[in-house]
């Protein structure tokens, strides 16, 4: 699954010594004809339970230029975004920013709304509005009911396109919820999205896995999007 992508965000990583990450990278690089590297955050969380954001990317396709942690002094986020600016010589939009979020399901509405503040922060930090928000926002079902969307500023922003629809099912389990999202913001980035390319990677169907075997991979399906080549 990982080798299908030029860059992929992995969430719920709990690997402070990076032994599991290194094992994954070794396996990936042993089977892929293309070299992969990674960028990982420090353990993030408001309690003793912490998670890391992990970006894995193809070295021949993507370069990581800069990264920073969003200032979470207001403790809005359970795990503050670890923000990365990347570039690729092969996409129409040469540089763009990745903002990952794994929202606390019990605070999902407030965290998703606060991504608006992250967006304005990225614009002031790096003078770019081309930002891709991605991750498990828990943005559906009981965590974000349809009545809550009107209070979420990023949803109403004309500069942004929500590429994974509310009707999607990103869960391997029997629930039908669009928890995982990709949101493209900024004129250069939104115009560089390949039309109809945003989708859910249902690896259970693709590999014809039994339910228990699919769950052993993940309880969420990856969501994906393709950017236009230049």
C-alpha 23/C-alpha 44 separation (Å) is 22
- Reduce the DSSP state of residue 87 to 3 states and report it: strand
Q: Active site includes 220?
A: no
Q: Active site includes 102?
A: yes
Query: Which position among 12, 51, 161, 224 bears the catalytic label?
Result: 51
CB 62 within 8 A of CB 6: yes
Tokens of 59: 């070295």
C-alpha 163/C-alpha 134 separation (Å) is 10
C-alpha 127/C-alpha 138 separation (Å) is 29
For the chain, how many helices (H) and strands (E)? 6, 11
CB 164 within 8 A of CB 223: yes
Neighbours of 89 (CB within 10 A): 10
Q: Pinpoint the alpha helices (H) of the chain.
A: 19-31, 108-126, 153-156, 187-191, 203-206, 211-217
Query: Which position among 12, 66, 80, 102 bears the catalytic label?
Result: 102
Tokens of 128: 């770019």
- Residues annotated catalytic, as ranges: 51, 102
């Amino acid at each position: 699954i990982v080798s299908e992508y030029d860059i992929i965000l992995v969430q719920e990583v709990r690997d402070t010594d990076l032994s599991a990450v290194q094992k994954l990278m070794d396996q990936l690089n042993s089977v892929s004809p293309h070299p992969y590297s990674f960028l990982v955050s420090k353990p993030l969380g408001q309690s003793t339970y912490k998670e890391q954001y992990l970006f894995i990317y193809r070295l021949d396709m993507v370069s990581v230029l800069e990264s920073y942690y969003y200032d979470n002094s207001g403790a809005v986020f359970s795990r503050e975004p670890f923000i990365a600016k990347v570039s690729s010589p092969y996409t129409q939009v040469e540089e763009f920013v990745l903002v990952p979020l794994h929202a606390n399901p019990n605070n999902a509405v407030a965290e998703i709304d606060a991504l608006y503040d992250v967006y304005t922060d990225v614009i002031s930090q790096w003078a770019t509005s081309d930002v891709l928000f991605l991750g498990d926002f828990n943005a559906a079902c009981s965590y974000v009911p349809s009545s809550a969307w009107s209070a979420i500023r990023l949803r109403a922003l004309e500069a942004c396109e929500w590429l994974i629809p509310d009707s999607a099912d990103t869960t391997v389990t029997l629930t039908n919820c669009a928890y995982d999202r990709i949101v493209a913001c900024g004129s250069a980035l939104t115009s560089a999205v390949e039309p109809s390319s945003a989708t859910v990677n249902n690896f259970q169907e693709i590999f014809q896995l039994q339910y228990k075997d699919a769950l052993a991979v993940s309880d969420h399906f990856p969501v994906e999007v393709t950017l236009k080549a230049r």
